Structure 1
Amino acid sequence: MTKRAYNFNAGPAALPLEVLERAQAEIVDFRGTGMSIMEMSHRGKVYEEVHNEAQSRLLSLMGNPKGYKVLFLQGGASTQFSMIPMNFLTEGKTGSYVITGSWGAKSIKEAKLFGETHVAASTENDKFMSVPDLKSIEVPENAAYLHLTSNETIEGNQFQQYPSTGNVPLIVDMSSDILSRNIDITPFGMIYAGAQKNLGPSGVTVIIAREELIAESPKNIPTMLRYDTHYSNNSLYNTPPSYSVYLVNEMLKWIEEQGGTAELEKVNRKKAALIYDTIDRSEGFFQGPVHPDSRSIMNVTFKIGSEELEKQFIKEAEQEGFVGLKGHRSVGGFRASIYNAVPYENCKVLAEFMTHFKQKHA
């Protein structure tokens, strides 16, 4: 095999080599059936075992909280921006949102199509280079839920802790940091995540929700957009993205093999510190715009003061085998997405490249 790229893509993103090799070995003949799992009926026993195994494994990695259900849906996290208000934003209620970047802004934009919304806190005046102080988050009494984005992939900020919302369900988009660190899931009403960053490939969206929240949905919304449809049918109402679910299960096995989220968090923090230290010690050559107490350990964003040098950085980085370092078009600069599957060694090589680039061009 040729040398693997230093993959820092924001999503679809890196997968562990071990997971890819297992999938390669099983793609033609899965568990001695003479078929690929992609060829099987989703109503069959073999696929259903994998499906249920993935649900159980995910809950286990989150501490086996009682009263929660895992759903495997399609349409990405962006579809959840609509499904959440459709299902929960009933008459007389308000959808309350914390806006800390591009994805938070998109989520409230969709909610406004279905009912009353409220901005509980926003860091737009700070160009989304921070997350708000938890004490500043104001949730109205008639809130149907409080929604926030735990990690803004584009801007590179991340909540280090979460607000206490009492009886108001806390709903969190964890697309880019789910299972990257140890958290207590019980304060959350619902967590959702597109799998293509930390959980597996694109094609499946994972929901982890309190059962009472999703057991019954309004009758006036389409069947496929009702959470209770998928809850009562174990996410098998229609054909699921079976191969993506299979790969999520393999990714979850890999996380278990690494020692679970507590051990992954240690590695992830070391990876992030390595790159942030390189930025901070560059004497201003590299700039990390996000406030230190809001920095993401998944998406490290940085800039160089010169547009010409930024172009040169990308050119030289690509020549050295780095992929995905260009920042999102809306903010520019650079972004190193260092999700669970990105090895520490890749981050070390990136830090060394950045140091050498600075010595060469400063």
Structure 2
Amino acid sequence: MKIIYGISLPEFRTLQPPPQHPGRTAFALIMSLICLALIVPGAGVVMEQVAQGQSPPAAALASIGLGLALGGFGYLLDRRSLRRWRARREQDLLASYGRVHCRDSRTLEATFESLALSCQCGLVSRPWSELTGFTETPFFLIPLTRRESFPIPKSAFASEGEVTEFRRLILDKLHNDRPFNACPIEFAHTRADLWRAKWLHVRKGGGWRRVLKIGFVMVAFLYAILVMIAGARIGQAPAWLMPLALGAFVFFLTRTMRPRQHYYGPLRIYFSEEGFHVVDPASQSRRHWSELAGYLEDRHMYLLYLNPRLYRIVPKRALGHRLGDFARLVHTALPPFDYRRGFPVANAASI
């Protein structure tokens, strides 16, 4: 099968990660805390004086006005910063697109022996044995090899039938090039699986180091807040420090405790003496045992480590009567994972 295609700018945009404005949340939080520190005490004094039938002091009104003015100024500054950031991001994206070689004309050829990409710059050919995965987006089909990825826009195909044919070709090669002929293990992760995996990683996989760092900072924050509360009660600390400290603590929690999106859909795993193959509705991944850093085990699951930061969860409940076979393979092919050893952290194949 031969495919001649180009990558347009709108298609290239879909390959970029979601935009995130660095520092915008911190700026908004700091400005909000400053404004509240000026408005809330002043508003309290004004309400107290009005309730007593007295005129509000000019200093309290000035504090409220300054807080409102700073809030408006911060909003305008944020909008200006956002516009500049979007302009810079657009320039960077255009520059990145300009560096894409031969973006207007490429030829991908799938032969019996290999997958080859050719253009005016030269030829890159990878044997099917180096094919490690396949993923699909709304606009691209992306075969993955050990060294790079081959993003193929769906617009390059004349019909949906050709898209299906190419997808089937890649998936057949992923299946046929591996001796995973036994029946697959089919299951779906549960929330309990994820929490147990995190706990196992914390106990034995070195995850306790991050927990310890976060815990130390949280204890320091709480101690500082308690000191400020005690100081405010006896008049030794200004009351406006309280919302500032609480806001900083909330910001720290939102940055470190953000919940991650997890996939709870169906998974299918094949395994043999050579490695394991994972299939979900959107992608496929194949790994040889030699590519893994090790394993951890408890009475609920196995964790197969690709690197110290990334592991695959295999619940024992999903293995059923094949638990013994899987255990023998893992114990024979992999060492117990030791986070104290140095491991190169492999980057995902660039797209």
Structure with the greater alpha carbon radius of gyration = 2
Higher helix share: 2
Fold shared, TM-score > 0.5 on shorter chain: no
Return the TM-score normalized by structure 1: 0.23
Task: Name which structure has the greater RCO, CA cutoff 8 Å, separation 6+.
Answer: 1
